[in-house]
Structure formats: structure tokens, C-alpha cells
Structure 1
Amino acid sequence: MKKLLQSDFMQTLIATIIVGYLKFCYATTTWRVEGQDAVEAIWDGKGPVVLMFWHGRLHLGHASWPRDRGQPVCVLASMSKSGDVSVKINTRFGYHSIRGSSAKKSDPTKQKGGAGAFRELIRWIRGDKETGGRCVAMTPDGPRGPSRVMTEGSLKLSQISQAPMVVLGQSTKTYLEFNTWDRMRVPLPFTKGAMVWGVLPPVPADTDEAALEALRLEAEQALTAVTDRADALLGLNASLTS
């Protein structure tokens, strides 16, 4: 059974079902949006950008970034078998994938997949003369947590590429919540949703480690704030989701 579930056929089938279900949920959700003006300027600017949302809201992220207007998106997928499914899901949503785990707080190169994955992210986000900059979408508390504790990887990526950081909070009124470390949510169809954007400036190139830690805490708080705001817009109790 394990070999069957890990087969390419089953992984493709699982990815197809998940994508079909999520697209149905997104299409039947009535969205309320806040803070989009600032991120629209980033879409129009066509420069590099780091997009961040918490791991527990991963299944809402695909509903956010417009393929016809925003920068091309790359997602960091783990080297595990579940990462194989993630790559298939990302591909069906039109996103590029780079394999490797989220960076450790102390060193963004010490991740599964090694320094090569981080270098690939740098190359991707810088883009080229034809496409301009690109977007890297990250869950900065993944893949194993702690929940809502941001690693430095996203900030290092911003510092090296001089890309602004976009924090995104999303929520739906009805959802399934799993008893996992991140309290992963899966949306249900025919519901109300909220999407709250925030934009943080690029991390200055000359930022030292002490200043980087302060910026990490600020970004962590900003991402939690927009996520809690999305819950509040739908009348959900933020204290139950933190």
C-alpha cells in the first residue's frame, strides 16, 4: 500500500483531486480584501518580491497571487515524498518549484537540499531582462514549526535580492482544521473569505545580525497581524487561531 501511495500515478491523482477541490472552493468564496493597493504597486513594478504567509494557511495561498498580473511565482517544496505531491500541485496552479526545506534561523544555506536551493531561489527572484523580477512564495514557519515563528530565510532572500516583503493573511469563515503543529486549515466551499495584505521594505544590504533579528521580529509580528486581521474580518476569534 505504501508503495502504491508513493507511486507517480497516485501522487498525480492526489494532486489533481486537491487542486480541483481548492479551485472549486476559491471560486465559490466571496472574498473581502484589505491593503491591496500597496501590493498592486508591486505587481505593476514587475520587480522581485518575497511573499510570505503562515504554514497553517498554506491551502489558501493559491487564491491570492494573480497569474495574469503578478510576477511569476516560485514555491520552495520539501525533498520528502509529500514534497513530490506539492510540486505537482504547484505546477497545476502555474507555479515553479525549487526543492529544499525552509532555511534554518542561523543559516539559510543549511537546509535540506543544501546551499544549492537557496542559490536557485536567488537566481529565480532576480529574474532577467525580459521578465523582470519574480516572486518567491514562502511559509517562513515551515515545514515543521514552531507555528508562527519566522526563520531568517525570507529576510536573507530579501536582503540579497533587495526585494520587498509582502505579508499575506487569509481566512475563510468555514474550514476544516487539522490537529497538526500548525493547525492546518482547509477551506470549505460556499463561504466568506478575507485577504489582508501588508508590504515591508527590503532588508538593507548592510544589516548586521543584531539588526536582522529585530527586523525578523517585526516581520513575524506583521505577518501574524494580517493573519489575525483576516480572522477578525470574518468574526473569528484570533486568540483561538494563534
Structure 2
Amino acid sequence: MTLKDTLKDFCYQQFFPRAGLILVKLISRTYSYRLVDTHNEQGALDRYGSVVYASWHQRFFPGITFFATRKPIAIMISQSRDGEMVARIVDILGWQAVRGSSSKGGMRALKKIRQLTGKGYRIGHIVDGPQGPFGVVKPGLITIAQFAGAPIVPVIVSPQRYWMFSSWDRFMVPKPFSKVFIRFAPPIVVPRRLDEKSFETIRQDVQALIKELVRETDNWWRSPDKILHYFS
């Protein structure tokens, strides 16, 4: 291995994850979270013992530290070099990184997720990541729920003030000291066996529900009564 390769490995495995984690933690500690409809989350946990949290890639920044409080929790991450850096970050936060994707190591990762949910782990999943298209729930979410034997609980993360980047997902980072809603949607149970039409119907239903609740929750910031109710 050359010196250049050694430096690259050090940066991806040590420096970038730790530097990124420090930044994420510093900013996230300034947020004021309000949890909404937590009965949906708790009801699913009481009945099934686990859940699959589903969220847009655009809005996962405040969730990466918040959901680390929902331990034990796991997330599927690709086996790419970028995935290695993300895996290091979530490992440090206390997530269980399960390496695999639809293109590589997917079946092994799904079997691992099934083992983890059997032990009471919750699963986090970015439904349109890692490269989009934006706002499209990929089939992987439904497949994960089938293997996990756990219902999907869409999670709506809505910050009051944020920076938006010109990336494929218009990535959002809440500004320091921003208020943030985290809203839990009703659980969606996915049967273990589905024909192609039923599979696609559930995928579209989840996608439509997330989009509807994102619009609704974002509109709360335009309602002084809503803000006063949750943040008084």
C-alpha cells in the first residue's frame, strides 16, 4: 500500500468520521426538539417489538443524533468508500451499522437485520438515498420491513430555520438553535409475502403518506397557534 493510499484510508476511517461527528454533535445540541404523535411509535413497539423508521435523505441531519437515543438501533449502509465513512460515524454514535445494499451484500445485510430485530433492535432507513431520485421511496424500504417483521413508521423531521444545499436532495441542515418537529406517522404493516402489484401499492402508499405529512408538518411553522402549543 502506498503512502497516498494509507493517508486516504486514515482520512476515511478516522479523521473525516470524527471531525464530522464533532460538527454534527455541536450543532444538534442547540436544537429544540418537539416530538409529535409518539403514540404511533410506542404502539408499534408494544405490539411488534421493533419498528422500521423511514425518512427522507433531505432531512436526516438532525435525526442522526436524535435517533441514536432510540437504542438499540441499526441502519443499512452501503459497502462503498463513502459508506465506510458514514458507518464509522454511526458506530461512534451508538448505531449498529449493517453493511450492504441492493447492488452488493444485500441479502446478507437483510438476514442480519432480521437477527437484530429479533433481539429488539429498531431499524432506521433513508427511503430515497443515497443518490435519489429525490422524494421517491425505493423498494428497499418495503423489503427491509418484510425481512425485519416490523412495521414501517414514517418519521417527519421538520426544522423551523435551515440551510438548504443545491444537492440532488436539496439537503437541509437546521440552523443552530432552531426548533425541530419530529413527528411519528401511523405504523404500516408489510406482509411477509407480497405479489408484485401489492408490493408496489404499499410502496406508493408509503411515499404518498410521507409527502402529505411533510407538507402538513412544514405548514405548522406558518401557524402561531401551533408553535405556541408545542413550544410554549
TM range (shorter): 0.7 to 0.9
Counterpart position of 1:92? 92
Indicate whether 1:122 and 2:124 are aligned. no
SS at match of 1:228: helix
SS at match of 1:118: helix
Distance in 2, matches of 1:153 and 1:55, equals 14
SS at match of 1:75: strand
- Shift of the 96–230 alpha-carbon distance from structure 1 to 2, 3 Å rule, reads same
CA shift digits 1:49-96 (9 cap, x unpaired): 1111011112122244363xx451111112222111101110121101
- Shift of the 7–118 alpha-carbon distance from structure 1 to 2, 3 Å rule, reads same
In 1, are the aligned partners of 2:73 and 2:96 still within 8 Å (CA)? yes
Taking the TM superposition and a 5 Å limit, the aligned residue runs for 1:1-242 are 3=5, 6-9=8-11, 11-43=13-45, 47-65=49-67, 67=69, 70-101=70-101, 103=102, 111-127=103-119, 133-235=120-222
- Shift of the 60–32 alpha-carbon distance from structure 1 to 2, 3 Å rule, reads same
SS at match of 2:176: coil
Give the residue type in structure 1 aligned to 2:90: N
Q: Flag structure 1 segments of 5+ consecutive residues without an equivalent.
A: 104-110, 128-132, 237-242
TM-score computed with the length of structure 2 as normaliser: 0.84
- Shift of the 2–168 alpha-carbon distance from structure 1 to 2, 3 Å rule, reads farther
Distance in 1, matches of 2:169 and 2:201, equals 24
Aligned length: 221
Q: Flag structure 2 segments of 5+ consecutive residues without an equivalent.
A: 224-232
- Shift of the 5–166 alpha-carbon distance from structure 1 to 2, 3 Å rule, reads farther
Task: List structure 1 runs of 4+ shifted beyond 6 angstroms.
Answer: none
In 1, are the aligned partners of 2:59 and 2:171 still within 8 Å (CA)? yes
TM-score computed with the length of structure 1 as normaliser: 0.80
Give the residue type in structure 2 aligned to 1:233: W
In 2, are the aligned partners of 1:169 and 1:196 still within 8 Å (CA)? yes
Post-superposition offset of 1:149? 0.7
In 1, are the aligned partners of 2:111 and 2:147 still within 8 Å (CA)? no
Distance in 1, matches of 2:88 and 2:193, equals 38
| Identity percentage of aligned residues | 26
SS at match of 1:7: helix
Give the residue type in structure 2 aligned to 1:74: A
SS at match of 1:231: helix
Counterpart position of 1:130? none
CA shift digits 1:178-221 (9 cap, x unpaired): 21111112222111111111132321234322111111111111
